C-alpha cells in the first residue's frame, strides 16, 4: 500500500481515473456489475500507487468475464487486445493486478454484498429482456439498477472490496506468433494455437469440427 492515496471514497478524485461515465459509454449501460468493476479497478490502482492507465506495465487477471471487466479495461488500461488483461473465467469475483514497474501485485476480492434490490431485479430482468415487461415494470427495473449502481459507487471502498498484497510473477509480455495456414480452411492461424490432425496443422474450429471432439 502507498501513502499517497487514502482509501476512502474521497480519493475518487475526478480526473485521476477515468470517470464512471466513461465506463458506461464503453460498456453500453450502467449496471451494478460495472460499478463494482470500477471500484475494483480504482482500489487496485490506489493500492499499487498507479495514478493513471499506463500500458503493459500493468497486468490484470480477471477470474470472471462479467460486466465489471469492461470498467477494469477502461480504468486500468489493461485490455484484451494488448494482452495485459487475462481472463481466467473461474466464475469468481476476484482480480489480480500486477505492476511490473512497482514490482508489486494485489488480489482484489469483491465483498459479498447483500444487495436489497437483487431479488426484485432478478424477477424483473427476465421480463425486461424477453420484452414481456409492462412499462411500469421496465421503469422499476431500471430504477432498481440505478439505485444499486449508485450505492456501489458511493460505498466506502472497504465495504465493496478487500485488497491484499500477493507475490506473483507477471506473465510473459505479449508474444509475437508466426502464422501458418490451416490445412483445412486455409485461413492463417497463430502457430502456437494450432492443433495436429492426421499429421497436419489445423485451426481450433476446424479441429473441433473434424477432430475427435467433432466425430
Ligand atoms: Zn452491465
Ligand atoms: Zn481451419
Nearest bound ligand to the CA of residue 202: 2
Split at pLDDT 50, 70, 90, the class of 17 is confident
Cell 449501460, located at residue: 29
Whether the per-residue pLDDT at 9 is higher than 60: the answer is no
Predicted local confidence at residue 5, as pLDDT: 44
Predicted local confidence at residue 191, as pLDDT: 86
Whether the per-residue pLDDT at 98 is higher than 90: the answer is yes
Residue range 179-210 forms a domain whose CATH class is alpha beta
Whether the per-residue pLDDT at 47 is higher than 80: the answer is yes
Nearest bound ligand to the CA of residue 26: 1
CA of 29 to the centre of ligand 1 (A): 6
Whether the per-residue pLDDT at 213 is higher than 80: the answer is no
Q: What's the average model confidence in pLDDT over 14-39?
A: 90
How far, CA to CA in Å, does 153 sit from each of 32, 109, 149, 194? 9, 16, 6, 43
Whether the per-residue pLDDT at 20 is higher than 80: the answer is yes
CA of 40 to the centre of ligand 1 (A): 15
Predicted local confidence at residue 7, as pLDDT: 44
Q: Among 108, 28, 18, 114, which residue's Cα sits nearest to residue 63?
A: 108
Predicted local confidence at residue 113, as pLDDT: 72
Q: Exposed e or buried b for every residue in 181-200, given b needs 16+ CB within 10 A?
A: ebbbeeeebeeeebbebeee
Predicted local confidence at residue 215, as pLDDT: 46
Predicted local confidence at residue 170, as pLDDT: 72
Q: Would you give the distance in Å from CA 35 to the centre of its chain?
A: 11
Q: Are 62 and 107 in contact (CB under 8 A)?
A: no
CA of 201 to the centre of ligand 2 (A): 9
143 against 17, higher pLDDT: 143
Q: Would you give the distance in Å from CA 159 to the centre of its chain?
A: 19
Q: What percent of the chain has pLDDT over 70?
A: 85
Domain residue spans of the chain: 9-166, 179-210
Residues β-bridged to residue 17: 14
CA of 9 to the centre of ligand 1 (A): 22
Alpha-carbon distance 200 to 54, whole Å?
41
Q: Among 87, 89, 74, which residue's Cα sits nearest to residue 40?
A: 74
- Write the pLDDT tens digit of every residue in 160-199: 999 999 998 777 765 666 889 999 999 999 888 899 999 9
CA of 189 to the centre of ligand 1 (A): 32
Predicted local confidence at residue 81, as pLDDT: 85
Q: What's the average model confidence in pLDDT over 71-92?
A: 90
What CATH number matches the domain at 9-166, 1.10.620.20, 3.30.360.10, 3.30.1330.130, 3.40.50.2000? 3.30.1330.130
CA of 148 to the centre of ligand 1 (A): 12
Alpha-carbon distance 171 to 98, whole Å?
9
Whether the per-residue pLDDT at 214 is higher than 60: the answer is no
Split at pLDDT 50, 70, 90, the class of 109 is very high
- The mean pLDDT of the chain is 86
Whether the per-residue pLDDT at 151 is higher than 80: the answer is yes
Split at pLDDT 50, 70, 90, the class of 212 is low
Nearest bound ligand to the CA of residue 38: 1
Amino acid at each position: 500500500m502507498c501513502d499517497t492515496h487514502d482509501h476512502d471514497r474521497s480519493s475518487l478524485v475526478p480526473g485521476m481515473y477515468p470517470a464512471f461515465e466513461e465506463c458506461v459509454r464503453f460498456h453500453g449501460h450502467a449496471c451494478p456489475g460495472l460499478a463494482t468493476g470500477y471500484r475494483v479497478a480504482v482500489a487496485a490502482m490506489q493500492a499499487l500507487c498507479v495514478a493513471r492507465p499506463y500500458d503493459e506495465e500493468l497486468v490484470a487477471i480477471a477470474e470472471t468475464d462479467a460486466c465489471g471487466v469492461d470498467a477494469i479495461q477502461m480504468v486500468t488500461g489493461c485490455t484484451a487486445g494488448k494482452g495485459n488483461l487475462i481472463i481466467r473465467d473461474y466464475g469468481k469475483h476476484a482480480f489480480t493486478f500486477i505492476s511490473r514497474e512497482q514490482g508489486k501485485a494485489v488480489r482484489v476480492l469483491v465483498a459479498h454484498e447483500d444487495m436489497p434490490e437483487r431479488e426484485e431485479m432478478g424477477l424483473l430482468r427476465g421480463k425486461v429482456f424477453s420484452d414481456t415487461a409492462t412499462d411500469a415494470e421496465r421503469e422499476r427495473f431500471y430504477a432498481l439498477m440505478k439505485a444499486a449502481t449508485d450505492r456501489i459507487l458511493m460505498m466506502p471502498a472497504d465495504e465493496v472490496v478487500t485488497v491484499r498484497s500477493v507475490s506473483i510473477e507477471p506473465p510473459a509480455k505479449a508474444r509475437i506468433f508466426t502464422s501458418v495456414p490451416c490445412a483445412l480452411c486455409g485461413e492463417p492461424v497463430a502457430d502456437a494455437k494450432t492443433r495436429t490432425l492426421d499429421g497436419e496443422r489445423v485451426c481450433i474450429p476446424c479441429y473441433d469440427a473434424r477432430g475427435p471432439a467433432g466425430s
